[in-house]
Structure 1
Amino acid sequence: MAVNAEAHGDGLPNERPDPITTLRGWRRFVEAVPPHFELLPEAEWAALSEAVRPAYNKARFDYHCGRVVLATPTIQEIEEQVGLSQLNHHDSIARRGLVVSGPPFTGKSTGLTQLGRAYELWVRQRYPSQDRIPVVYVSTPPQWSPRNLAAEVARFLGLSPINPRASFTNFVDAVGQALTEARCDLVLVDEIHNLYLPTAAGEYPSDQLKYLTERLPATFVYAGINLEQSGLFTGVRGTQTAGRFVFVNTGPIPYGPEWEGLVATLEAGLRLHCHEGGTLTGLDRYLHERTHGMIGNLSHLILAGALAAIDDGSEAITRQLLETIPLN
């Protein structure tokens, strides 16, 4: 068996990984190797002692919890927009950006991070001898302002604290200089729907976001819930801001061949000793009804089922087991 995880003798990880909203955490995410695990032959598994079995099961827990990226058409569409960054290199005034919008659990954050990862790997391959920070990834907590957003970009870059009394324009100029020195091309902003909108139409944040995208030398990619309906991109000023962005919409996946293929991919990745192949594909309609076609719910349901099957010793995912797992 093999897993990509370092652990103490007690089975606990050596350290809690840094979040990907930090430079160290982001680089670790970009460089991560897909998890790999091979089941022991049945005779060896059955002969495992009680002292060794918990470590074997823990390794399978780690494998199943490894980030599995399903290549949905939406994620592929998002990744195809990477060319926007190259176009913006030749247009310093009307830079264009990308907005990924849709309901919860429809793959927005996954698409956003995969776009950033693919771009950074491309940059590393093209400029192997240059020390760059080609991608910045930040997530927006509730009630944030565009100034807080700029500060978070600065923190990701390791910029020294900026005078809190500095004007917004001076603050942004300092962050812009840091982005230039880091040779950053993409700024990924997740959960942008959490941005504080003091007015119904969101004019003030819209103005500041427009200023950010114009003054910071990078391509901005925003992801959030139903952003077309938010004050950031509606009203006179919001519409002007929206005009400089390409919108990619995520949503539930309809029942059909694409859904069946996703279920089959997840089932093929299971590492359970008694699970019969084809069980989940035979339940694909039930899984669609249960998850409402939401890819995030599907991944969670099957992952939770795998962990439960290891924990209770059944080593198989059944409809009966899935019924015990709550979903949002």
Structure 2
Amino acid sequence: MIEIATKEGWREHVDTVYERPAPITLKDLRALSFGDRALYNQARARYSQAGAFVRTPQFQVFQNAVRDRVMLNTYRRVGKLGLILSGEPGQGKTTSLVEVGRAHERRRRDTGHPAAGPGKIPVVYVAVPAQCSAKALMHEFARFLGIPVLGRMTYGNLLDAVANALRRCATELVLIDDVHHLDLKYRQNIEASDMLKQLSERCGGTFVYAGIAVEGTGLLDGERGGQIGKRFEVHVAVPFPLNTADEKARWGDLLLAMESSLCLVEQRPGSILPAALSLHSLTGGEIGLLKDLLQFAALRAMEDETETLDLSEFERELRRRQAAAAMYAKPRRSRTPVGSA
């Protein structure tokens, strides 16, 4: 497992590319030895889980917004612009945040940009610990950057060290995950929030936050929140709706992309579409739940050698859930106590 909260781990994550396994026929698959087939199945599962990334319309809008702010902030001295990606669990916030950073760094490398030169760190990723103080959050930055933290270092010393390192390393993008942990009901979290603002003004990077229901944490409320609200654009990750023709088409496009990423030998492109309504009902349109559901189904198809999704399995699961919901919703009849008149 790659630890992306250090510069070495992040660099390994950016460097790692999981190629799509070469397609083979069912006959050739069955002719493989037990060991070779296990390796082929492992490569397919790895590609589906970590190699294939589905660029949804929501993600494209978010990625474009990040790109624009990185460009504008290059020429700003104060009042840096940022972004907040908010939403409920299962909407792919962390995945989107990490993919935006990975794509940005790979683009810088491919174009020979100075920010990706020797000794430079174009992207920094930090996850906010629960009940985080300003100094504890600064420690997370120091851990990523590899800055030694001495016991006698004050908050001001740490802030100077981190800000100087970000400037020297030409960091363009600072990704702050789990920002919902900065619930401003707690004093120490207010200090950590203020620290992020100070840090953003002292280095050249664009700050992008991601977290669960960030609008309810107080981060955007009051005088402090007013400043953030004016400079940070909020993007809300929501489940895929299924009301209009366009929404149904987008859901279908997502299913086709997911279907392709599974690399099942006998899965004909588009054969997943008859299960579109069932899959939406089972997942509520949440991309995280959909991905998990399809990947488990794909693993079963590999194990039983059918190599195609069993759409009837989704129908059965949907009926089972509907029956269970109906049973719990049915009012229970009250019983008359024994011996009562």
- Which TM-score band applies after superposition, normalised by the shorter structure? 0.7 to 0.9
Where does the alignment leave 5 or more consecutive residues of structure 1 unmatched? 1-16
1:47 lines up with 2:31 in the alignment: yes
The aligned counterpart of 1:110 is: 95
Q: How does 1:157-236 map to 2 (within 5 A)?
A: 157-161=145-149, 163-195=150-182, 197-199=184-186, 203-236=190-223
2:231 counterpart residue number: 244
Structure-1 separation of matches of 2:175 and 2:305 = 42
Mapped partners of 1:127, 1:61: distance in 2? 34
**Post-superposition shift, 1:292?**
0.7
Cα distance, 1:134 vs. partner?
Answer: 0.6
SS of 1:126 mapped into structure 2: coil
Q: Does 1:266 find its partner at 2:253?
A: no
- The answer to whether the Cα contact below 8 Å between 1:144 and 1:196 also exists between their aligned partners in 2 is no
**Distance verdict in 2 for CA 1:90–1:313, change over 3 Å:** same
Native 8 Å contact 1:78 1:112 kept in 2:
no
1:23-53 Cα offsets, whole Å, 9 max, x none, are 2222222233342112333332233344543
Structure 1 position 98, deviation (Å): 1.0
Bigger CA drift: 87-96 or 191-200? Answer: 191-200
- The yes-or-no answer on 1:100 pairing with 2:85 is yes
Q: Deviations over 1:264-319 (max 9, x none)?
A: 11112332234344332111111111111111111111112111221233322123
Post-superposition Cα deviations, 1:153-174, rounded to whole Å, max 9, x if no partner, equal 221111122x344332332111
Amino acid at match of 1:228: E
For 1:127, the equivalent position in structure 2 comes to 113
Residues 58 and 152 from structure 1, CA distance in 2 versus in 1: closer, same or farther, beyond 3 angstroms?
Answer: same
Matched position secondary structure for 2:158: helix
Residue identity in the other structure for 2:124: V
Q: In the superposition, relative to structure 1, how do residues 179 and 49 fare at CA in structure 2: closer, same or farther (>3 Å)?
A: closer
Structure 2 unaligned segments of length 5 or more: list them. Answer: 243-247, 322-341
- Are the structure 2 counterparts of residues 119 and 51 from structure 1 closer, same or farther at C-alpha, using a change threshold of 3 Å? closer
Give the secondary structure class of the aligned counterpart of 1:231: coil
1:137 aligns with one of 84, 103, 125: 125
Between the aligned partners of 1:115 and 1:57, the Cα distance in structure 2 is: 28
Shift, 1:180, TM fit: 1.2
User: Are the structure 2 counterparts of residues 237 and 184 from structure 1 closer, same or farther at C-alpha, using a change threshold of 3 Å?
Assistant: same
The equivalent residue for 1:302 is: 294
Going from structure 1 to structure 2, the CA distance change for 1:80 and 1:173 (only over 3 Å counts) comes to same
Task: Give the secondary-structure state (helix, strand or coil) at the position aligned to 1:247.
Answer: strand
CA distance in 2: counterparts of 1:49 and 1:199, whole angstroms: 59
Q: Which residue of 2 aligns with 1:153?
A: 141
Q: Deviations over 1:91-131 (max 9, x none)?
A: 22211111111112222222212221222123222336821
Say if 2:132 and 2:181, in contact at 8 Å, map to a contact too.
Answer: yes
Alpha-carbon spacing, 1:50–1:34, altered in 2? closer, same or farther (3 Å) = closer
* Worse-matched range after superposition: 168-177 or 141-150: 141-150
Contact 2:45–2:262 (CA under 8 A) maintained in structure 1: no
- CA change 1:45–1:149 in 2 (3 A) is same
RMSD: 2.6
Contact 1:79 1:118 (C-alpha < 8 Å) held by counterparts: no
Say which one has the larger Rg: 2
